[in-house]
Structure formats: structure tokens, C-alpha cells
Amino acid sequence: MNASVFASTQKRKNTRSDLAVPLKRSSIPAFQFDPASPAKNLKNIFTHQSTIIDRLFCERDDLVERVQTLEERLSNSLSMISVQKARIVNLSELSARLSASGPAENNRQPPAPSQIAPDDKIIVEQILKLSLDQIPLYLAHNPFPLQCTLTSPQLGAERINSVLTSLPSQVAVPFASAAFAQLFRSSEISELVQTLRKSIHNHQFIHKIEAFCCKLFKAGFCQLFALQPQQNQLVTLFDSDGFTLQVPVGQGIVGSCAKEGKILIYQSTQESPSYDPEIDDFFNIGSNPSLLIPIFDSSSNFVISVILVHSPKVGALFTPEDLQVGEILSSQISPFLTAYVEHMEKNEDRSYRSELSLAVKSLLGKNTLEELLQTTLQVVQRMIKAENAELYLIDDEQGLLYVFEPQSSHNGVQMYVRKYFSGKSGIPFHVIKSLSVVNINRLTPEKCEFFSRETDVVALGKPYLAVPVFAVGEKPIAVLAAYGKSGSNLFSPSDIAALQQLSVQVGVNLTNIFASQSAQETQQTCSADVGNFSNPLNFLIKQIAAGDEDSMIDLAEAISLEAIKRLNCDLIALWQVINNRPVQRYICKSQEEFIQIVDIPPVVNQVIESGEIKISAVAAEVQQMMGSFDDEASYKSYSNITMPIKDQDGKIIWIVIAENSLSAQGRFTDTDVAGLTEYSSFLIAATNVVNLQGTVESNEKAISLQKTLISTLTPVKTDMLNRLIVAINDSFDSKYCALYQADGIAEALTITETNYPDAPKSIMLTQGIIGKLFTTNESHFYNDIYNESEFNAPTDAFGLDDMNSAIYCKVTNSFLMVLLSPEKNKFNEQQVQAILGASDLVQIAYELSRNFNEGGSTDSSIVTAEQRATFMSRSSSPTRSDLEEYSDRFFNIMNYNEDDRIIMILKMFVSQGVIRKLQVPFQKLVQFVCTVRSCYNETPYHNWTHACDVTQFAFSCIMRGRLRLYLQDIELFALLLACVCHDVDHHGLNNAFHKKARTPLGILYDERPVMEMHHAATAIRLLEMPEHDILEGIENPSEKSHFYEFFIKIILATDMDKHFAYIKEFEEMSSDFDKRNERHRLLLAQIVMKSGDVSNTTRAFDVASDMSHKLTDEFFKQGDLERQLGIEVTPMCDRTKASHISTSQVGFYGFIAAPLLTALGNFITALADNTDQLEKNKRQWEQQKEQWELSQQK
């Protein structure tokens, strides 16, 4: 600011001062005398005098107030004069010297010209144009003494002395005093630093900094915000009521300062672009100015704290001098706040894991809704410090939500009753529909478009958090909500993650509770009086064994009685459809048989014609559907289900009518439809069995098989289909059996059930006898399969050379059954027909198995819903001992089974906080890891075991090498995930093979690293599947791109062709590593990945040796294939020319592994012990090599 501008600014400020306005007397109206009315004159006199007195009192009060203001300002001026005098005393020698040599007192001209820099000459000229009282303000806006001494203390002192000697004494003295005041502020910061050294872990540490800043900047308020890195937010504590204010990074003036990383001055805080009233109104700054100072991590350039300072007086301003002082303060206290934040982060992470582990454990074993409800709400309130919580459950039948409200019975017993919400709006309904998390800082109807007073009014004006609760089969069954954050202003990312983790266990508990309730209800229903059988399947067995001629009618009667119980209705009627004409078989009305033959209701023929179910609860409509039935049966119809029952060919063979539901709603529901469908399936099976009884002489084997198969269907459980297939196999005394299902998309058959583990998992429709018969819809038996022209041993005989007889039977449009036997002439046509007769039972067993075990499979590579829930429960709370075990340098992956390896990897992700920071859906992460495991092939070395081993090494680097100081959270996530995926779908063949053999992959990637590109592409394809969308919580497209940038390039770094280029670049970068440089961070992550890929060299020697032999075996298998294909055999893969394994290992250790691990150990010294172990192993290989060479000389 130049002198003229500065002067004009001061002039404008003075004109606005209230003291510049002169005091004016209030005008008093003149008294009017009326000679004609003495009384009126007297009255006017009193009124006039009263007005004068009132005006005088007002003027007196105004004068008193102005005097008090003047006294206050005078007092302040005297205080400032006292301070100035003290400063002048400190400069007495300089003042005396300058006074002795200066010009006359009133002379303001500078002394004789001296050697002075052009910039300082301008400063002198500007100062000479100012009045003496303007000099301190001028230096506040132009703090060159402070800037000079910070840049170079010696040069700064010379410049200040040059300016002083160029000024007359009368000007130099106040200038020196003001300059000294600036420098004195920086010396005060040095005193603070000495104080902080003694109280780094004291709870008064923060308060000392805040109190000092108030004094340093002459402010009325100061608040220090410390970063919580794992939650991406800053927190501060208000001492008045113990309230913790949480500020997300990037939000409000404080969050913006942390994100931008620079000192910010707002002269009117409310007008700043980053002002957020929901956060910033807590400070009561209003339109006052504010100063925000970021504090950086002492070992990097990341903000770890923000200091907020503001003046309580409107009109007060922060100056550039304050900005300079803020920079000094930031740099001086950075080391202390770095230590403080690290200390806080460790305590927070330790406390969080401990509390979450206890919370999950407290939910285990809660097998009743009452127990679970009480415990869940208490755990949520304690874990995330919510004022209250609620569990909203879903009523699937009515599509409504309900909660349990505690009530006391008449005898004082505590019980819970359902409270339904009639509407279908509100936050819980939104969570169910969107399957997303809702987190609102302050719930208001204006901010929340799906707000409903019915469900949400209890949380009005409070922070609100709600997450969906999933059943074991990924179906949403509840919403877990919390509102009112005790001692804070919002729910943090850590709170969201904690609630999601708790919801997983709550979902498991609810699934078990509902399953138990359903089983109890079924048991109660079956144990009731249901006629002459306990359940339909057992009755079928008895009826078939009896061979009753009237079994068809008896079966209809038994199933009708059971259906009345199951559906809780008043009437069941059955018509058998023969040649498209309905025949009345049985009517049960009010628990009694109705034997009269009635006219066929119109709805029966309507359903036969349309083939669709009809449901109605409108009395008039039902009466039209039933026609004269009500009059003939002396009945009144109100609600109705009419269902067609179709055989395997889609032909209608029965019509079932159920009428008048006795439920509270008086109508039939989807559950009733499902129940009726279940009994209809039994009726279809019974119909087929009874039909077969009529031809028992010609097909006794079929009847026997049907009896056997029906008996195997009891009990109805998830293994029904497997039991059925094994029963068929045992009935025909065959050795192996399998059931294949058509996959229309892949044009292949996929195995569903088998008793032979090595049976082919997939068979193309173009392969062998099986493919041909399925395509042509045929079924045949063969007693010498090797003589068949279409025979293909790997598929038709499961790759076995001792199989001779076979049955290939297409039992339905989707299934084909295979039976194999080593005996010749084993099978016949009757057996084929018997299997075809059981096709309906196969379909029923498959459907029931699928319903009981949604998504299940006998293939061990596919994880079931129950397994997924187990993985989530066991891995959600890693302990300190887990982390120490997984980061151990002497880790041995062979000590862990398949499930333990999955749990280990999941715990690694959880322990780093990336699940909650990046909002990774835990269920999808579990599914993704399990799917990746299934995509690894059974190669000798590059398999799932190797992937887990590499991931453990990277995790060890993260923990022991403190990689969190170098990499961002999303980059750590990408590194761990890349380790898991880096060799997915490896074929045991290297890049050179694919290029030489011109495989499809070799042609596709040509000049690129073939397998590394394939691994990355396979992983990306899996990540893009909806069930594996673990990145759905990352909403920012640039962040998602950042993840893929690291993830893909980390995998590609395992290309050995560029091995030494990576090492060279890393060594050159190590000396000036910059955490702000993304390329530096990526290169570090790539080096960790590459080190993990050769980390077998750092294991204990027996483990390292075993891995080396497996890798060598894989190489030799490639060489065998190259020789078979007639292409050049890779030297290291040629077992015919190979020397002792120690020879190759000495070279690999010395030239490949050692330079890489040495470079990493030099950069992060905590990892240097990896190289030590490598050297020990290398010496053992050298000893083996020497011994082998000596043996060859002999």
C-alpha cells in the first residue's frame, strides 16, 4: 500500500467515526400565547415546560454516554502509550544516537544521502509522507522488517539499519519502535515452543496454544482443530460443555483451510465462499474477520491441524503482518502437533477396534427378538455415542415397516408389541428402496426430501444415521438407525463404518431368529390334526407302498386337508384335468368332505384356458367366478385363489381352488400362493407315481425307483438334490453319477451335483455324446461307450479309462443326468425310462434346494451366503495379535487353510481403515475376494497360495515400514487389492510362451506384457460386476480414476522385462522423495508389489526352498508343453538340460531379488532385515551349489 492510498483510507475511516459527528441540540417548538383563553395558556405553559425538561434529560444521557466512550478510548490510548514507552526504552541507545546526529526537531528532511537500495529508498519516501501515528499501521500492511529477518537475519538487520539512518530522528524513533514490536511477536513464538516441549502429551497442550494465539493476535477467540486421518475430519473440543465439533475436510472455513493448505484471512467471514452455516455458526463469528492457519505434518506437506482465530469486534482487520506471524507460528509448532496427532490416532484406532470387537461379541448368541432388540440399541448408543437408536423391520407380506415398542402387561411383565407405520415414505423406507446409507448432519424437512413425520419426527433437528440390514442371502430385512450424537455435531465416517459392521451381525442374528420362528411354526402346523399323515411326503410314501386302487382320490383328500391347515382357509376343491376337461375329485368345506357333485365353476374353465392364477378378495367378483357353486354347496364365497397345476411339459393336469381366508386380513397373500404351489408340486409327483402304478407289471423298476426317490426327499433341506442323484446312482448300482444344467449364454452344460470330485465342471454342447444328446433332446444307454463314434473320453467318461457302460438321460429341458459303470452291458432301456419318470422329482428337488440355499453350489470355488456371513463375522474385528501375526517377517502361508487365508486378507483391509474411509461395502468385498480366489488356477506356483503370500508381504511393509506416512488411503487400498489380483487366471505359462506359441492372449497383447495385461483385465472385469462393485462408495470420478491408475499400474509393474528400469528409477527418486508427487508415491507402491512378488527369497529357508521347487516344476511343465507343440524350448524350462536347482537360485537371488529388496531397505530402513534373510538363504543355496559341483567332478 503506497502512502497516498494509505492516507486516503485513514481519512475515510475517520469520517465514519461516531466521535466526528458534533452534538446537536434538539429543537424545541416556541410557546404560543392566546390572550382570549387564560386557562388554555396555563395548560400550554406546563406542557411546554415538561417538553423542555424531557429534552434536557435526553441530552444529558447522550453526553454522559459520549464522555464514557471518550474515557474508555483515552484509557486505551494511555495503555498504548505505556507500551510504546517500554519499547522506546529498549531502543534508547539507538534513539540517543540518532537524536544526537539528526537535524533540528521540526526538520523532517532526511540526512545527507547515503548508499541505500532502491526498494528501501521507496520505503523511506513513503514513511516521510506519513504522520507519526500512522507508522505502526503502515508497517502492519507492509511488514518488511519481519520479512527481512525471516529471509536472512543478517541481511535483514542491515536493511533495517539502512532505513533508520536514512530517516530523521523524530521519524526514526517511532519507526524503530513499530519494527521492534513486529520482531517481538516472533520472539514470543519461540517462548511458546519452549513451553510446548514440556507438555506434548499433557491435556493442557491444546489449550496453551489456543491461549497464546489469542494473545499473539489480540483476538477474543481461538480454537485449534486436530486431524483424525482415518475419518478425514478435524475435531475440536468446546470446554464450556464438553462438546466435540467435527468438521469434514473440505467443508466450512476450517475444512477449506485444511484442504487448500494455506493461511486464509476473511475480513467478513459470512461472505467467504467456503462459509457453511451448519458448521461455522458454532463459532459465532458472524460478519467478523477470521484468520485460519494450517499446521503441516513435520515429515510431509499434509495438513494435520488448523488454528482458527477471530476478533470479537466488528470492523477490526487482520493484516499482512498477521499472515507473516501465522507462517512463523505454523512452522514452529508443526513438530509438536505432528506428535500429538499421531498419538491421538493410535489411541483412537486402538480404542475403535477394541470397542467394535466387544460390540460384535455382545450380539453373538442373541437368539430372540427381545434379546437382540435390547442389546442392539444399547450397543449402538454406546459404540457411536448416539442419543437413541431404532431397528425398523420389514413385513414382506404387507410391504410395511414396524418397530417393537416396550409395554408392561397387567401383571407388570415387560413385553414388546409391534408398531406399524402406515405410510411408505420416510428415511427408513428410502434406505430400503435405495439400499444406501443416509447420514444427515441436522435433520430438517427442507434438507431431506424423503422426510416423513410418522417415522422421522423423533430425530428432527438432530444428526441422523441409517444403514440397511441384510439377511444372510443379501436380502434387506431391516434398517438400523441412530440419531442425536451425544457431545458432537454429526456422525463421522468411523460411526458409519461401525454401524455397518454392527448391521452385519444383526442381519445374521435376524436371519437365524426368523428361520427358527418359521421352523417352529411349520412344526406346530404339522403336529396339528391333519388327518392320516404328518406331512405330504411321508403320506405319499405310505400310499405308494400300500398300492391302493383309489390312491388318486385318497391323495387328493390328504393334500386338501393339509392345504386347509397350511393356508388357514375354509374350503379346498380339486378338479383333475383329463383331456382338457375338468373332473371333480375332492371338495373339503369347513373341515368336512363335501361329496355332492357340483357344476363346474366358471373360473375353472377360465384358468384352464388362460393357464394363469386368479386371486380375488372382492365378494361380488368371487361370486361371478364361482357361478352356482355357492347355491349348490350352501356356501358364501368372499376370497378366492384358483391355481392351475402343470406337469413338466406345461400341460394343466389339476385345478385347485382355495376359498375364504381365515386370516386377520380376510384375504390371500403371496405367502399363501407359495404354500399352495408347494403342495401342488407334491400333487404332480403323486399323479405321476399313481399313473406308473397302473403299468407296474411292465415297469416295476420305475415304481421301485419312485418309491426310493420320494423317500430320499425327506427331510426337505438344502442337500435334497444331491441325495436324489445319489439315490438314483445306488438304485442302478452304477459307480459315478452327475447332473448337468444348461447354460444358455455359454452354450455349455455346467455341473450341478456329482459324487465324483474330478468330473468336468463344464461341457460344451459341441463335445462328445453328452453334447449331441442334449442338443437333440434324446436319452440313451450305452454298454460299450468306447465304440461310439461321437465318444469323447474327457467329457463322456470323466477322463477315466476304465468306464464301459453309461446312461445319458435328458431328464428335463434344462438337466442331463450321467451314470457311469466299469461293467459292460450294465444298463437297459427300462432304466432310462425309470429315470425319465423321475424327472419331475429332479426338478422339484432342484427348485426346493435353490430356495433353501439361494446362490448355493457344490463347487467349492463358489462361496455360499452362509460362508460369506461367516467370513464377515470372523474378519470384522481384527485384534492386535492378528496384525502382529500377519505382519511377521517369518510368516508361512502354508500354515493357513483356504478359509483362514480369506479371513486374513479381509482383516488386513479392515485394519487399515479403508473399509470405512472409502465406504467399501463389506459384503461385496468378501464376495470379490472369494471370486478372485476361484479364478486362480491350480498351477504349481502362480496360484492362490502365491497371491496370499505376496499380499502378506505387502501388508508387512505397510505395518513395519509405516507406509501410511507415504501413501494415501485409496493408494493403500489399491496396493493390497493389486497384490490379491496380480496373478489371477495365471496359466502357469510365461509371456515368452504366449508370444512364441501365438496363443490368443499372445496375439491380443502382442508387444505388451501378455500375462500382466491379462491379470489386470481379468481383475477389472470382476470389479465391474454389480455383485463385486466395491468402489460404489467412491462417488468422486477423479478418485475412482486415481484408484484404477494405481491398481492397474501396480499389477503391470510385475513385468520382469522392466525389472531393472524400475529399480534404477526408484534409487534415483529415493534421495528426494516428495509425498506430494503422485509419481513418487506410485513408484513406491510398485516397488513394494515387485518385492512381494519375489518375497519367497526372504522367508525361512525351508519355506523358500519349497517355493523354489514349485516354481521350477511349473517351468518344467511349460518346457514339456513347448516340446510337445514343436516350438523352441525356453532354456530355464528344459528339464533335460537343467542343472541342480541351486544354480538357478544363486543367480536369481543375486541378480534379481537382492538389488530390488536392497533398494527398498535403503529407503525404508525398517525393512532392511528382508535383505539380511535373503543373504542367509543365498549362502545356503551357494553351499548346495558347491556340493553339487563337487559331486559332478567325481
8 A C-beta contact, residue 902 and residue 871? yes
**Which alpha helices (DSSP H) does 658-767 contain, by range?**
670-693, 700-712, 720-731
| Residue for grid cell 437408536 | 389
Instruction: Output the nine-digit C-alpha cell for 877.
Output: 474385528
8 A C-beta contact, residue 508 and residue 869? yes
| Residue for grid cell 405319499 | 540
Which of 778, 740, 779 lies closest to 756 in space, CA to CA?
740
1171 is in an annotated binding site: no
Q: What is the per-residue DSSP string for 262-308?
A: S-EEESSGGGSTT--HHHHGGGT-TTS-EEEEEEE-TTSS-EEEEEE
Tell me how far apart the alpha carbons of residues 979 and 955 are, in angstroms, rounded to a whole number: 10
- Active site includes 942? yes
212-219 long-range Cβ contacts below 8 angstroms, 24+ apart:
212/188, 213/307, 213/309, 213/329, 214/309, 215/188, 216/185, 216/188, 216/189, 216/325, 216/329, 217/291, 217/309, 217/311, 217/318, 217/322, 217/325, 218/311, 219/291, 219/309, 219/310, 219/311, 219/312
Tell me how far apart the alpha carbons of residues 285 and 1037 are, in angstroms, rounded to a whole number: 35
923 is in an annotated binding site: no
Instruction: Output the nine-digit C-alpha cell for 1076.
Output: 506430494
Which of 1027, 1010, 914, 1006 lies closest to 964 in space, CA to CA?
914
Query: In degrees, to the nearest 5, what angle opens at C-alpha 1064 toward C-alphas 1063 and 1066?
Result: 65
Q: SS3 letters for 1133-1150?
A: HCCCCCCCHHHHHHHHHH
1014 is in an annotated binding site: no
945 is in an annotated binding site: yes
Instruction: Output the nine-digit C-alpha cell for 26.
Output: 434538539
8 A C-beta contact, residue 208 and residue 225? no
8 A C-beta contact, residue 543 and residue 551? yes
What does DSSP assign to residue 488?
Answer: B
Tell me how far apart the alpha carbons of residues 137 and 232 are, in angstroms, rounded to a whole number: 40
944 is in an annotated binding site: yes
Q: How many CA atoms lie within 13 A of 481 on its CB side?
A: 26
8 A C-beta contact, residue 613 and residue 642? yes
Cis peptide before 715 (omega within 30 of 0): yes
Q: Which residues contact 104 (CB under 8 A, 6 or more apart)?
A: none
Element (H, E) at 243: strand 243-248
Whole-angstrom CA distances from 913 to 504, 759, 950, 964, 973 are 17, 42, 20, 11, 9
What does DSSP assign to residue 417?
Answer: E
246 is in an annotated binding site: no
Beta bridge partners of 736: 820
**Choice among 310, 430, 942, 994 that is catalytic:** 942
Element (H, E) at 739: strand 736-743
Around Cβ 858, how many Cβ atoms within 10 Å?
14
983 is in an annotated binding site: yes
Tell me how far apart the alpha carbons of residues 445 and 459 are, in angstroms, rounded to a whole number: 11
Beta bridge partners of 592: 589
Tell me how far apart the alpha carbons of residues 496 and 551 are, in angstroms, rounded to a whole number: 61
Tell me how far apart the alpha carbons of residues 538 and 551 are, in angstroms, rounded to a whole number: 14
Tell me how far apart the alpha carbons of residues 771 and 785 are, in angstroms, rounded to a whole number: 14
Q: Which residues contribute to the annotated binding site for AMP?
A: 942-946, 983, 1093, 1145
- As annotated, the binding site includes 942-946, 982-983, 1093, 1145
Which residue ranges make up the annotated binding site for Zn(2+)? 946, 982-983, 1093
Q: Which residues are catalytic?
A: 942
